[in-house]
Amino acid sequence: MLGAVVMLGALAVPASAAAPAGQAGPVLPPASTQPATAPVASAVSAALEGPLSDSALGGSVGAVVIDVATGELVFDQDGTTPRSTASNEKVFTAVSVLSALGPDQRLVTTVTWDPTTSVLTIVGAGDPTLASVAAEGSSLGELADEVAAQVDPGTSIALRYDTSLFTGPAIAPGWDSSYPAMGVAAPVSALVVDRARIPGSDAREPDPALAAATMFAGMLGERGLAVDGPQPGTAIGSVIAETESVALATMVETMLTESDNDMAEQLAHLAGAALTGTGSFESGAAATKQALTDLGVPTTGLVSVDGSGLSYDDVASPSTLASVIATAAGTSSPPWSWPLITGLPIAGLTGTLNDRFLSGEAAAGAGIVRAKTGTLIGVSTLAGTVVDANGRLLVFAFMSDKAGDVALSRDALDRAATALAECTCSG
């Protein structure tokens, strides 16, 4: 029977019945229920033998499995040979930018005004989430509102845009020049709005900064301001408007879950800017190497030329990739590293794994495997975490650089991860 009625404003809510007597049970099993011994290497090897020898993987597979609780390497198949990372490069980008700026950092896009010259400048902060209209986070419309509230409508404004936070080439080594038109990735810029998407198309803006500034000019015009431009330039005057992004942790999680190439490149450039003062493909690569070295992760053979993994020039060993994830997943992980784990797609549920692990032998891995995917022509990678049948948390990195059919190679790697989930590998 229900208890008394509690009044919350105008709403009458029945009070809860008395709670049952006695001590509540645990929400999760205590850590002591986990097996005392680490997985046995021979058992892990037996579990992975079938799926990793699948002909769809082309006979060239590097694989590493680490027991997170002990840090012990429990499986190693050519684990120190560098291979193309594909989109698993984004794991390194996540570590690089999180270690440089921290998960709570927010990016502030500003507008400066010099009344003596009537020059208004929008200054790119490298924010990959700046939107034309946003319910949360940074908004170009918010900037326009703030400017319109402070500049006389009768003033003829010379609009400039400043992208000096990022320097160097806008297209990475190894990228095809058709990538923007194909919708693969936009040229990298410190000023981008709506993720550089062209409305009604999958294609990216060929000049994201100009597109963003042009949209801003239109918004100012809608608010009654007379605008000349936009033109590239350097910010002068004082800040009269600013808009703040969501936390960097949210960006990193989105970048990993969706495997967003454009977001990855801006985040990598931001890490490079934190290291050297300006963001570029070169400084981003240096920041990645520095971040992994600081973590104590082996970097032999590591080459990073972009932040997304679109370039075949990006290579790393399974040992490097698995070590990064194991460090972030362990009890001694750096306090800034948690978005790397929470951002990994969940098998059969989210992001780039939402349509995988749904049938056949891989179905048992749905909801248990969390992993970053990576695919290029001839390259198939999967790296992340899984809890085995004994309750041990394992980190794995599977990398094939001679993969055949994309769907078949993905299925083979999914079955390998599921084999770990089903493995009673502990002695």
Active site (catalytic) residues: 87, 90, 259
Dihedral sign computed on CA atoms, order 256, 261, 267, 272: positive
Burial class (CB in 10 A: 0-12, 13-18, 19+), 20: exposed
Nearest to 152 by CA among 254, 220, 205, 216: 220
Dihedral sign computed on CA atoms, order 376, 381, 384, 389: positive
**Neighbouring-strand partners of residue 159:** 120
State the Cα–Cα distance between residues 100 and 97, nearest whole angstrom: 5
State the Cα–Cα distance between residues 329 and 104, nearest whole angstrom: 19
Dihedral sign computed on CA atoms, order 259, 271, 376, 366: negative
Identify whether the C-beta of residue 52 lies closer than 8 Å to the C-beta of residue 61: yes
Tokens of 394: 């394992």
Nearest to 237 by CA among 296, 151, 300: 151
Identify whether the C-beta of residue 140 lies closer than 8 Å to the C-beta of residue 241: no
Q: Is 340 helix (H, G, I), strand (E, B) or coil?
A: helix
State the Cα–Cα distance between residues 92 and 321, nearest whole angstrom: 8
Q: Is 202 helix (H, G, I), strand (E, B) or coil?
A: coil
State the Cα–Cα distance between residues 44 and 102, nearest whole angstrom: 36
Backbone angles phi, psi at 76, to 5 degrees: -145, 110
Place of tokens 């940074």: 138
State the Cα–Cα distance between residues 113 and 163, nearest whole angstrom: 16
Provide the Cα torsion 278, 327, 103, 307; round to 10°: 40
Identify whether the C-beta of residue 4 lies closer than 8 Å to the C-beta of residue 15: yes
Hey, what amino acid is at 252? V
Identify whether the C-beta of residue 414 lies closer than 8 Å to the C-beta of residue 395: no
